[in-house]
Chains A and B, each alone.
Chain A
Amino acid sequence: MASTAITPTRMVLNQLKGRLRTARRGHKLLKDKRDELMRQFMEVIKQNKILRTRVEEGLTAAFGSLQVASSIMSPEVMEQSLLYPRQSVELSVKYKNVMSVNVPEYSFTTKNNDPSEIFPYGFAQTSGELDDALEQLAKVFNDMLELAEVEKTMQLLAEEIEKTRRRVNALEYSTIPSLEENIKYITMKLAENENATKVRLLKVKDMVLQKAHNFT
Chain B
Amino acid sequence: MLKIAVIGSAQTVMGFKALGLEACPASDADEARKALKRLTAEGSEYAIIYIEENLYVQLSTEIDKFKDSPLPAIILIPGKDGSSGLGLSALNAAVERAVGTNILGD
Contacts and interface: CB of A to CB of B under 8 A. Distances in A.
B70 A95 contact: yes
B12 interface: yes
Given A93-B2, A144-B50, A55 B19 contact: no
A82 B77 contact: no
A203 B100 CA distance: 62
Interface of B: 1-4, 11-12, 14-21, 47-48, 50, 67-68, 70-71, 73, 75, 77-80, 82-83, 87-88, 90-91, 94-95, 97-100, 104
Given A45-B91, A91-B3, A91-B47, 16 more contacts: A63-B78, A66-B11, A89-B3, A89-B4, A89-B20, A89-B21, A93-B2, A145-B4, A148-B75, A151-B91, A152-B73, A154-B94, A155-B67, A155-B68, A157-B98, A159-B67
27 contacts: A38-B99, A45-B91, A48-B91, A49-B88, A52-B88, A59-B83, A60-B82, A63-B12, A63-B78, A66-B15, A67-B80, A87-B18, A90-B3, A91-B1, A93-B2, A103-B70, A106-B47, A106-B48, A108-B4, A110-B20, A137-B18, A144-B50, A147-B75, A148-B48, A148-B50, A158-B98, A159-B68
